[in-house]
Amino acid sequence: MERQYLRPNERYPVPLDESFWINIICANNSGRSAAVAHEMDQIYASNVASEVEKALRENKENIDNAIMKQIAPSAVNVTGIQYEDLISLSFDHDELIRQEENRRRRMREKIVNAALRIE
């Protein structure tokens, strides 16, 4: 068997060394101190903040349009149109029936008066 033709079995994972995490943490430096790590994190955070600000500036028009779609219905006076014919939850049943009976009585009187005028 020649070594150049040997390949690892893809079904079984290759075990990691016990010190695998040191290579991940100290990829560039032989040993990073906490202060250096904190400084790198601050640089990364400022880069992220600047990227976010840049994305906000570039997409300001789209963001404003999306916000207006949510705010505009409440900013315009649509509530008067939407809710003007609703009955409140604490309405008087007797008064409602009385109004309906009066309306129907007036309609009957109009019909009778119109019929009497024709004759």
Quote the domain boundaries for residue 26.
3-86
**Predicted pLDDT of residue 113:** 92
Q: Are 26 and 32 in contact, with CB atoms under 8 Å apart?
A: yes
Which segments in the chain show pLDDT lower than 50? none
The reply to whether 59 and 7 lie within a common domain is: yes
* Token reading at 110: 């109009």
Number of domains in the chain: 2
The reply to whether 69 and 109 lie within a common domain is: no
**Predicted pLDDT of residue 103:** 96
The reply to whether 44 and 29 lie within a common domain is: yes
The reply to whether 78 and 94 lie within a common domain is: no
**Predicted pLDDT of residue 83:** 63
Using the structure block, give the residue that is written with the tokens 């840049």: 54
The reply to whether 81 and 25 lie within a common domain is: yes
**Predicted pLDDT of residue 32:** 57
Cα gap 60→21, rounded to integer Å: 42
